[in-house]
Structure 1
């Protein structure tokens, strides 16, 4: 059994593509190995900003000999048929045997194909796998027709400590397989010769490259927490940012900088978004959860006290400019009351055939009294007010720059205008839940606006037949339906969805059909229940009873049936 090592060295690979690319390339390569009958141990894939590497152990030195039995013509067939069979299989008469079958007596032959040496098979697999792999976005360079995410520099291909003989044809240039790679772009540019994976990993580390993505993530997180602990602060958890930053560096060097106090009066969410989206900085919190005037940045250069100080100063200077923009947006937005911005929504298109955001705002104001009645909320005026202001922040400078702050900034602006706290919270939280792990709203006013917003979107898009198809859901309608389901179930609400859908559809005077929206919501409920561990037969039994528009009542039936079947009486049924 032998070891195989492959590396494709290129210009910088976008961080968001790296993890999935390594996994998919590994799948393609191992699939090609299986096609030619080469067994192996599980493949290990690695990715850094400049390279994708694959290490596979346990490969045989040679393919297994394959014995294939082929049936020829009948024994009583003309001689010409037998001659043709022998010529096509390159065999002689003494290699053929006669055998009786259910369909008569036939000629048979066993063809033995000796396996090729693995080192002779691998080069073609490497080229096939590289050409098969499709990046989400790719490019050509020079006069080449071959496409890759960024220009390729070299292909390292080593099997059993020897370089494989082969090349990758780029369409004009050719990359001959080698046993050479390079380390860190800035401090490990000299060529490195390797003959096995252990040496490859060790020598790259000496050249300031950590090839294990998980190790880079762990190092970033641990060192950032140490810096935070030294200031008696907490690192704000951000798994998505950690994934991205791990894909931006090959040798992480974690540094801390400070934020000028003058910017701390801007809402913390705006500061965090500015640091996160533009600069890829991690935020720090005080022990009480408020934003601390410090940030964590990750350099791709080895630690050096003089250079580190220069990097921190430079990053703080860039951040100061970014936060100055955020403060300017905040100050300018506060010059107009949120209520005054509602008129501007009529100039922002919601979707063709569904009108403007101003139209949506009016529909929400007419829909929320119905939801208030269903959930027993007396503060109808507060709900209507929140519905009117819910989308107003979409016309602000801050949300135009940081779309992810929609709703959140609306709550801040409403508070600055003196609106009731519950109205401000409803504006801030009406987009929730944004995902399966996001918390659902629990305050009655926020629940009302959240459900109204989502049901209006679902009714509108279903009425114009813009429904999800297959894996495509460009308007996140599945997420909206799941948000309604979770909000209803987690708050134990009794809402007749048929009436709610009908009332929402009434606010679209030019549309008359909801196109089986209730069926769609019920299907999403089935998916939600299966993911929650409910047995499929219990789900089927309850849905067989007919369409149900009271989701909480339906869940109670499922639980009741589950409890019955778990009891002694149920077991005897």
Structure 2
């Protein structure tokens, strides 16, 4: 067994790019090897800001040879009456590059066919890697990429060197004349800039000798161990923020945590105003007391050793102080007038060049929020709070604080609202109306915040669709995908009985009524619904639901999202029944025949046979099933439908539908359509994949 090591040496890689790039490398190398039949024991990736590493162990030296069989023409076409090869056979052999001794015949479903047998020899794995690695690197994707040194090749940052070792010997490959060999580089300041890798096994140790800790988990554990020791000495706790910690891990090659201090004069600022400059701007880890309140300390992580730590500490404190001084000034200035006085200024802030300004958006959100609240059945008092919170929701966008610290939008608005004398309900709704800010992130906890969040997201994404903005691949400049997932997350998590069709209609009407934009209404609405449906399908399959069950339910009444989930759950329970396959087959036959019906109005006086009369009542279950469906009790409805399956089978097996008597025929078709309506109210059986 062999092993392979690839190191991609780069200029400082963006921390947020590292994990996605590692995943792409792992998937691409795995695919390269598996597609070519190469066995291997383990494939690992690792990274620091200056290198991306792939290591493969237990690697076979050659791909497995394989024999394939290709079916050609039927024997009766391949040979003439005298048994001589025809042009059809000659063409087949030529296309498969075989002679007559390389073909044979075999019966398939009662017909004899000519087959060609082709044997492919195993490939040299070294050559496979030489050819494959440049292609893998060319196809890596990043949010932003660049060219350098006159090359056509694009990458997130310039590549400066490659280490490529196969069983400790250099395995060269060609990519834009970038050096490939066995020389790596250590820490930019503390390590050597030319290290000859002795062996794959020694690679990681040699890096560590040069102040590069390759293993991300080890860097993370070291940061936590040393940082927690530092803060415990001050009686504090590290703020738990996994995303921040992961980013810091990917910013350093040789981490050394140190404790900094915040001047006391800034500790009277709101917590979020203190924390935001530290976390989001400087990547410091805040220190909290046992109540979760900020203490006058922070932890920062140096990319280096302990030399001159006091100087480094003072430098980090000096960087933080002016940011907190700015925040203190903004906080004082912004509060010289109540939050509502900022609302008129939104007229000067553009929302989108085709969709007007933020004051116009605020008015649309107010209107849409009131409609959503009404659909949810909230009372007049709650509607008044919703309207007030919606009116103030964007006011903080023109404050000094948000202009400087955009991450505080909504949050600082809630603080200013409270200090302006607004109710707790209104203030909290403003602070949480941007939630969720990721697909499954934290949700608004109040009804008022939830309603405004829905209205805000729907107004934005519907307007952007109407303005013709497009999403392509990973490009989503306006966050349409994120907003769509946020709407779905709210509807699903809160089990809201709201129609997506109605929500989108009301949102688009806001633009129609304002005459802000001329756009094809029906086409735009359909595009938005299809976009939502695709995102919903992805979410439901990620949640573990069968894709065919999801498709079967989305084929019928897809606009009430929570109702969709109820039906999916019911169908999956139904499919667990022992005889579900047979019942599905019958339901599919009913659906197929029902398509020929002109209507579903059954005339009871034309029911002639016992089987017709039994199907009419579904074995006595029809009314109960209908009542269960009206109550969205889908599991009991499908249980009763399974119990009534005998009445369906009896009709299908013993009743001729397409009889000469037109009245009887049409009545029987109507009977099937009536039955099919019940089934289709839950799911489309034809979409369920039949198990072989």
Task: Specify the TM-score bucket, using the shorter chain as the normaliser.
Answer: 0.7 to 0.9
1:10 is aligned to: 10
**d(CA) in 2 for partners of 1:416, 1:267:** 12
Distance apart, 1:408 and its partner CA: 0.6
Q: 1:310 to 1:522 in 2, by over 3 A?
A: same
Tell me which residue corresponds to 2:283: 280
SS in 2 for 1:375: coil
Is residue 564–residue 570 contact of structure 1 (8 Å, CA) maintained in 2? no
Question: Normalized against structure 1, the TM-score is what?
Answer: 0.82
Q: Name the CA distance, whole Å, in 1 between partners of 2:69 and 2:531.
A: 53
For residue 432 of structure 1, what is the aligned residue in structure 2?
Answer: 435
Please say if residues 432 and 444 of structure 2, whose CA atoms lie closer than 8 Å, have aligned partners that are also in contact.
Answer: yes
Aligned pair count reads 556
* Cα deviation 1:108-159 (Å, max 9, x = unaligned): 998885x676556644444454455455544444455554444433322222
Partner SS for 2:164: strand
Aligned to 2:454: 451
Cα 1:255/1:424, change in 2 over 3 Å:
same
**In 1, are the aligned partners of 2:28 and 2:136 still within 8 Å (CA)?**
yes
Correspondent of 1:564 among 625, 630, 636: 636
The answer (yes or no) to whether the contact 2:65–2:119 under 8 Å persists in 1 is no
Task: Rate the CA distance shift 1:201–1:377 in 2: closer, same or farther, 3 A.
Answer: farther
| 1:161 and 2:168 correspond | yes
In 2, are the aligned partners of 1:97 and 1:109 still within 8 Å (CA)? no
The answer to whether the 8 A contact 2:39-2:59 is kept is: yes
- Alignment partners' CA distance in 1, 2:370 and 2:141: 51
Give the direction of change, closer, same or farther, for the CA distance of 1:28–1:265 in structure 2 (3 Å limit). same
Counterpart-to-counterpart distance in 2, 1:467 and 1:269 = 34
Q: Report the counterpart of residue 404 of structure 1 in structure 2.
A: 407
How many angstroms does 1:254 deviate by?
Answer: 1.1
Per mean C-alpha deviation after superposition, the further-off stretch among 261-270 and 122-131 is 122-131
1:185 aligns with 2:257: no
Output the CA distance in 1 between the equivalents of 2:325 and 2:490. 38
8 Å CA contact 2:145–2:154 kept in 1: the answer is yes
- Mapped to 2, the partners of 1:15 and 1:145 lie a distance apart of 24
Change (3 A) 1:385 1:23: closer
In 1: Cα distance, 2:252 partner to 2:102 partner: 67
Question: Residues 198-209 of structure 1 correspond to what in structure 2 (within 5 A)?
Answer: 198-209=201-212
Contact 1:363 1:507 in 2 (8 A): yes
Instruction: Tell me how far apart the structure 1 counterparts of residues 227 and 137 of structure 2 sit (CA, whole Å).
Output: 37
SS at match of 1:189: coil
Superposed displacement of residue 422, structure 1: 1.6
Moved more, 206-215 or 248-257: 206-215
Q: What is aligned with 2:354?
A: 353
Deviations 1:477-516 (A, max 9, x none): 4543444444445445555666655554444322683624
- Tell me the CA shift for residue 370 of structure 1: 3.5
* Secondary structure of residue in 1 paired with 2:252: coil
Within a 5 Å distance, the mapping from 1:294-373 to structure 2 comes to 294-304=297-307, 307-373=308-374
- SS of match in other structure, 1:3: strand
Partner SS for 1:188 = coil
**CA separation in 2, counterparts of 1:299 and 1:490?**
41
Higher relative contact order (CA 8 A, sep 6+): 1
Unaligned 5+ runs, structure 2: 72-77, 571-631, 646-692
Paired position in structure 2 for 1:217: 220
Seen in structure 2, the aligned counterparts of structure 1 residues 27 and 443 have a Cα distance that, compared at 3 Å, is: closer
Q: Does 1:414 align with 2:417?
A: yes
Distance in 2 of aligned mates of 1:478 and 1:107: 49
8 Å contact kept, 2:143–2:474: no
| Coordinate RMSD, CA, aligned | 4.2
Against the structure 1 CA distance between its residues 385 and 198, is the aligned structure 2 distance closer, same or farther, given a 3 Å change threshold? same
> Is contact 1:3-1:196 (8 Å) kept?
no
Q: 2:381 is paired with a residue of what secondary structure?
A: coil
Matched residue of 1:52: which SS? strand
Contact persistence 2:440–2:489 (CA under 8 A): no
